[in-house]
Structure 1
Amino acid sequence: MPFNTALTRRLGIRVPVVQGGMQWVGYAELASAVSNAGGLGIITALTQPTPEDLRKEIRKCRTLTKNPFGINLTLLPALVPPDYGAYAQVIIDEGIKIVETAGNNPGPVISQLKKANTIILHKCTTIRHAKSAVKLGVDFLSIDGFECAGHVGENDITNFILLSRARQDLGVPFIASGGFADGQGLAAALALGAEGINMGTRFMSTVEAPIHQRVKEAIVNAQETDTALVLRRWKNTTRLFANKVTQDALKVEKESTTGEFKEIGPFVSGQRGRQVFLNGDVNFGVWTAGQVIGLIHDIPTCNELLTRIEKEALEAMNRTRALYSESPASKL
């Protein structure tokens, strides 16, 4: 029997797994593969240099899958911010009905999307921010634990606590994000009250991920200790793969006497990180990865991965259920 959660019912997917937005990874090739496998694939809007390029990527994805897919739109501080409203309008114009939002001051974009009856999955790293998002009318909250890749927030709260707090305090269905790679994790998230899971790093190490094979192999060969937190000094804490550039950036962060961001800026360049995915030199620039890298041991297709996750989750739920019996325990 297929999964029957608020997430699968509302999004029209078979397996309650969302492929989170990932800069320089979330292209049509990966999104369509995840959607074809029964999950929800996500195109990352800002991988596209202009709103019109996003339109082309959406149309390309439609040629690769007939199943639902969504768009990630992340709002982050920038000296020259993108025209988020224009990206949102393309999403609306193209009839996309599922959007993952994240970042600062999402209210105007969420309002714009909700007027078009878009289903919003909003990513949060604290319950306080989640409650603010509820007031904006989001449909699902993606509760992002400290284990996650990329922006982890400034509170260092892991998913075991965050998910239970979400279950206790939020009146909106939520998904578990950060630290998930297998069916056992999915079963655990469902037990804690989530309607499904969001995976990023796990999908980087799949056949269809549009990144260099050496990066995928680096993930497979890594341990859960092979990430590092950078930019905490500037309250923009980010979890990165602990390569040489990341270590150099940390040294600057710890030893800088001025505390000026321009000292560390060249080390954390997003463009250098993008080149890692193209040239396969895992030490060329910084790139995000979650602690879940310690759980990833192969490079399957998205279909193989989601089929496995579904099977593992069912086995885990059945095993847990078998631990309880209605009949009194035998006396010794």
Structure 2
Amino acid sequence: MLTTAFTETFGVRHPIVQGGMQWVGRAELVAAVANAGALGMLTALTQPTPDDLAREISRTRELTDQPFGVNLTILPTITPPPYDEYRNVIIDCGVKVVETAGSSPAPHLPHFHSAGIKVLHKCTSVRHAVKAQALGVDGISIDGFECAGHPGEDDVPGLVLIAAAAERISIPMIASGGFADARGLVAALALGADGINMGTRFMCTDESPIHRNIKDAIVAASEVDTELIFRSLRNTARVARNSVSQEVVEILSSGGKFEDVRDLVAGVRGRAVFDSGDPEAGIWTAGTVQGLIHDIPTVGELVERIVTEAEALIAGRLAGLLDPVSA
């Protein structure tokens, strides 16, 4: 078994986290990840109201007795969701791990910590990771440029970002963006991380609550089949390449404004992709790691495969590179 600072601090068997993905981080997937010994994350804002989140937490507990967390993504908007109410539900329901993302977790940290909740904060740069550590979060999830969703604006890939962050971070750190298998886990550990976060890979599992057509589309796609939208708006997002994302890129590259693409990128259309199975129905997130995804296993099979093969890589191929005399 691979034991790291992350597994010890966050109380899970394996150094693997399932990212809190909008429309995807629901009870059936999260419970399967928890039962496999990794850390699953419900996505708070997938639930329409705080009361709905409370029910989803309860539903998850009916499916697992293992630890799981809740992702709370905090973004500045004109009409923000009731973040404090979602936070209070997380606390009242006795969840012990929270993944925060987006804006600073500072306003919420005292509340979570007073309830004994450990906070894993997602960052896309070393400077933000250092600031989050100074604020007192319990762990960092560092997102390389390869990741699905929002990779930040620095365009630094994981090979550099993880190592650079490891030089400055002393609390447990999870590497995110581009991870799908044992090779990635071992590489992340070598770079200084204490585990990996996977989103797109967990989308492509039997328990993932999205249409089979979308899972098949991910398996069929290569590492170059993504688009970066909102570049000119300084709000870059990596999404699957389809007719809609290509149209968004074309409009914005030609000087268009957000208002010109608002209807194309509407969240309701993105959810329709996952529900209907039509990959052209809207914008949906996927990372470059889809080029490494070739099957749709159960969550349990996937986690066991990654951990077992990682142990074999460390004890076998890598150890075999050492000169037995010098070693």
TM-score bracket for this pair, using the shorter chain length: over 0.9
1:194-233 equivalences in 2 (<5 Å)? 194-233=193-232
Change over 3 Å in CA distance of 1:96–1:328 after alignment to 2: closer
Secondary structure of 1:123 counterpart: strand
Counterparts of 1:122 and 1:202 in 2: how far apart (Å)?
20
Deviation readout 1:240-280 (Å, 9 max, x if unpaired): 00111000111110113xx4310111111111000000000
Counterparts of 1:121 and 1:105 in 2: how far apart (Å)?
12
Q: Residue 156 of structure 2 aligns with which residue?
A: 157
| TM-score (norm. length: structure 1) | 0.96
Q: In the alignment, is the contact (CA less than 8 A) between 2:30 and 2:60 conserved in 1? A: yes
Compute the displacement of 1:106 (Å).
Answer: 2.4
Q: Residue 322 of structure 2 aligns with which residue?
A: 324
Compute the displacement of 1:328 (Å).
Answer: 5.0
Counterparts of 2:197 and 2:257 in 1: how far apart (Å)?
35
Q: In the alignment, is the contact (CA less than 8 A) between 2:2 and 2:311 conserved in 1? A: no
In angstroms, what is the RMSD of aligned CA positions? Answer: 1.1
Q: Residue 133 of structure 1 aligns with which residue?
A: 132
Unmatched segments (≥5 aa) in structure 2? none
Q: Residue 29 of structure 2 aligns with which residue?
A: 30
Letter paired with 1:194: A
Letter paired with 2:35: N
Counterparts of 1:185 and 1:276 in 2: how far apart (Å)?
28
Letter paired with 1:247: Q
1:68-107 equivalences in 2 (<5 Å)? 68-107=67-106
Compute the displacement of 1:117 (Å).
Answer: 1.9
Compute the displacement of 1:173 (Å).
Answer: 1.9
- Whether 1:249 and 2:252 are equivalent positions in the alignment is no
Pick the aligned partner of 1:285 from 262, 282, 295.
282
Counterparts of 1:66 and 1:311 in 2: how far apart (Å)?
23
Q: Residue 305 of structure 2 aligns with which residue?
A: 308
Secondary structure of 1:106 counterpart: coil
Letter paired with 1:301: T
Pick the aligned partner of 1:270 from 262, 267, 291.
267
Deviation readout 1:158-192 (Å, 9 max, x if unpaired): 11111111121122221100100001110111111
**Which range is displaced more, 320-329 or 39-48?**
320-329
Q: In the alignment, is the contact (CA less than 8 A) between 2:105 and 2:121 conserved in 1? A: no
Deviation readout 1:271-296 (Å, 9 max, x if unpaired): 10000000000011000000000000
Compute the displacement of 1:77 (Å).
Answer: 2.6
Q: In the alignment, is the contact (CA less than 8 A) between 1:19 and 1:42 conserved in 2? A: yes
Q: How many residues align?
A: 326
Q: Residue 8 of structure 1 aligns with which residue?
A: 7
Query: Deviation above 3 Å: which 4+ runs of structure 1?
Result: none
Secondary structure of 2:42 counterpart: strand
Compute the displacement of 1:207 (Å).
Answer: 0.3
Pick the aligned partner of 1:296 from 293, 297, 312.
293
Q: In the alignment, is the contact (CA less than 8 A) between 1:84 and 1:109 conserved in 2? A: no
Counterparts of 1:110 and 1:215 in 2: how far apart (Å)?
36
Q: In the alignment, is the contact (CA less than 8 A) between 1:111 and 1:136 conserved in 2? A: no
1:39-78 equivalences in 2 (<5 Å)? 39-78=38-77
Counterparts of 1:315 and 1:291 in 2: how far apart (Å)?
26
Secondary structure of 2:174 counterpart: strand
Counterparts of 1:167 and 1:151 in 2: how far apart (Å)?
21
Change over 3 Å in CA distance of 1:251–1:135 after alignment to 2: same
Q: Residue 185 of structure 2 aligns with which residue?
A: 186
Secondary structure of 1:169 counterpart: coil
Identity of aligned residues (%): 54
Unmatched segments (≥5 aa) in structure 1? none
Compute the displacement of 1:6 (Å).
Answer: 1.2
Q: In the alignment, is the contact (CA less than 8 A) between 1:23 and 1:47 conserved in 2? A: yes
| TM-score (norm. length: structure 2) | 0.98
Q: In the alignment, is the contact (CA less than 8 A) between 1:101 and 1:122 conserved in 2? A: yes
Counterparts of 1:296 and 1:68 in 2: how far apart (Å)?
27
